[in-house]
């Protein structure tokens, strides 16, 4: 019912802008042009969002005949981790990362004879962020973002559908016996290495994404600087009517903007690059160790043992947590939606003011940008406070666990 309703919204939201577009092209009336503008701006966003809701809330079932008394999600988790997939677990639910954008949620309903697995397509954190911006930009004149947003939604759903078809094979007894070692100790090693690898890899991806954000901001700063310099130079040499002088002004503006932003970019590259490499190193080491355990391969003499690696990984956990928390845009999606809407509405108001109400538009646009900034500053403050609280708690818990572990094993 819910899916049918949403499908109807998708259909209507796609048809109305198209109809109004034809109406507008053939000579709009005053009334229809308003509706055209309204639907042309909002319709594609609603359509893209509705398609995402339909495909991401759709649950697909898989029949599974139980081969042991063990909880199927436990078996599945072990098997998927032994297949080197990144799996995170919350009560009654597994989330499997399929690629950079696509993930799958798996839950179960158990009856006496049969167990049914249910899967849902889900974007990863990077997938959500990308999709969110593509959907917001869906009202673009050329429709490229509308197409990209929907293509991405369909892709994530298709990845899930394809993976669902593989689940019975992954869960079959034969595959479990072959893939998951029966040795309890090795199984625990695989679980711990897999979980730590997931955390390290997520921290690495978060840090990499932060670096890309910094470069995007610097690029934006560079473009603004170029525009300001270009106009300032043209005004100084009074060369608005001369192509040769405009070329000269453009060259000088490019050089000036590059000279101001390039050092900042180099500093950012130096500091963020070191962290990115450090996290990448940890993710790779844990992945190699995980592979060694899943294949039960022998160890080289100089290699670090898996337990040693895990004990060292504990020291890194606060750093990984911090990196993951710093990319927590999706922790408050409401705040980000409001910020994005405020900015999207403010920019056209300021850049294209109408003759009679230009000042009022600029003031309203400025207030919107101010409000967006206040919301962002508050979000950042809350995020920092929460990070500090969680990290302090984590550090003290790790110290406690470490001393308990030493007392238990070493008797000291």
By CB under 8 A, name the binding residues for another protein.
89-90, 184-185, 188-189, 191-192, 195-196, 199, 298-299, 301, 305-308, 310-311, 317, 321, 394, 397-398, 401, 405-406, 408-412
Cα distance between residue 72 and residue 67, in whole Å:
9
Report the 10 Å Cβ neighbour count for 241: 8
In whole angstroms, how close is the CB of 291 to another protein at the nearest point?
15
Q: Which of 120, 114, 116 is nearest to 52 (CA)?
A: 120
List, as one string, the DSSP characters of 303-331.
SPPHHHHHHHHHHHHHHHHHHHHTT-GGG
According to DSSP, the residues that pair with 116 across neighbouring strands are: 63, 109
Nearer to another protein, 355 or 411 (CB): 411
Cα distance between residue 125 and residue 122, in whole Å:
9
Q: Which two tokens stand for residue 263?
A: 């050092």
Using only C-alpha atoms, the chain has a radius of gyration, in whole angstroms, of: 27
Nearer to another protein, 242 or 406 (CB): 406
In whole angstroms, how close is the CB of 77 to another protein at the nearest point?
10
Cα distance between residue 412 and residue 404, in whole Å:
10
Q: Which residues touch 20 (CB under 8 Å, ≥6 apart)? A: 32, 35, 36, 39, 40
Nearer to another protein, 177 or 188 (CB): 188
Please tell me whether residue 110 adopts helix, strand or coil conformation. Answer: strand
Nearer to another protein, 23 or 303 (CB): 303
Nearer to another protein, 181 or 256 (CB): 181
Cα distance between residue 203 and residue 281, in whole Å:
11
Nearer to another protein, 58 or 105 (CB): 105
Q: Tell me the torsion sign for CA atoms 233, 239, 245, 246.
A: positive
Length of the chain in terms of residues written: 412
Nearer to another protein, 231 or 307 (CB): 307
In whole angstroms, how close is the CB of 357 to another protein at the nearest point?
51
In whole angstroms, how close is the CB of 345 to another protein at the nearest point?
37
In whole angstroms, how close is the CB of 173 to another protein at the nearest point?
24
List, as one string, the DSSP characters of 279-310.
HHHHHHHHHHHHHHHHHTPPPPTTSPPHHHHH
Nearer to another protein, 241 or 301 (CB): 301
């Amino acid at each position: 019912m819910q899916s049918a309703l949403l499908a109807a919204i998708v259909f209507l939201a796609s048809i109305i802008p198209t109809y109004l577009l034809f109406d507008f092209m053939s000579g709009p009336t005053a009334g229809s042009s308003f509706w055209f503008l309204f639907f042309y701006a909002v319709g594609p966003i609603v359509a893209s969002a509705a398609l995402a809701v339909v495909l991401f809330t759709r649950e697909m079932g898989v029949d599974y005949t139980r081969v042991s008394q063990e909880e199927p999600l436990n078996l599945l988790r072990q098997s998927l981790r032994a297949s080197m997939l990144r799996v995170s677990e919350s009560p009654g639910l597994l989330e499997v990362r399929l690629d950079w954008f696509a993930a799958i949620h798996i839950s179960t309903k158990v009856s006496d004879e049969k167990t049914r697995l249910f899967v849902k397509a889900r974007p990863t954190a990077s997938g959500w962020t990308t999709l969110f911006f593509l959907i917001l930009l869906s009202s673009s004149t050329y429709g490229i973002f509308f197409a990209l947003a929907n293509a991405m939604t369909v892709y994530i759903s298709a990845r899930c559908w394809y993976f669902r078809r593989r689940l019975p094979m992954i869960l079959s007894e034969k595959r479990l016996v072959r893939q998951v070692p029966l040795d309890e100790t090795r199984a625990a090693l695989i679980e711990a290495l897999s979980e730590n690898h997931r955390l390290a890899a997520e921290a690495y991806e978060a840090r990499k994404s932060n670096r890309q954000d910094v470069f995007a901001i610097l690029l934006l700063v560079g473009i603004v600087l170029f525009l300001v310099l270009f106009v300032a130079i043209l005004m100084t040499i009074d060369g608005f009517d001369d192509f040769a002088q405009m070329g000269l002004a453009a060259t000088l503006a490019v050089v000036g903007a590059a000279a101001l932003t390039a050092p900042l970019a180099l500093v950012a590259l130096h500091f963020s690059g070191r962290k990115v490499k450090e996290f990448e190193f940890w993710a790779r080491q844990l992945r190699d160790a995980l592979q060694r355990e899943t294949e039960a391969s022998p160890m080289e003499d100089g290699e670090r043992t898996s337990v040693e690696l895990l004990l060292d990984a504990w020291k890194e956990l606060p750093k990984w947590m911090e990196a993951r928390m710093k990319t927590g845009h999706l922790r408050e999606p409401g705040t980000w939606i409001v910020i994005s809407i405020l900015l999207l509405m403010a920019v056209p108001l300021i850049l294209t003011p109408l003759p009679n109400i230009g000042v009022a538009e600029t003031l309203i646009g400025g207030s919107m940008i101010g409000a967006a900034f206040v919301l962002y500053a508050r979000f950042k403050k809350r995020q920092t406070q929460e990070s500090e609280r969680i990290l302090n708690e984590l550090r003290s818990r790790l110290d406690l666990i470490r001393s308990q572990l030493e007392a238990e094993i070493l008797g000291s």
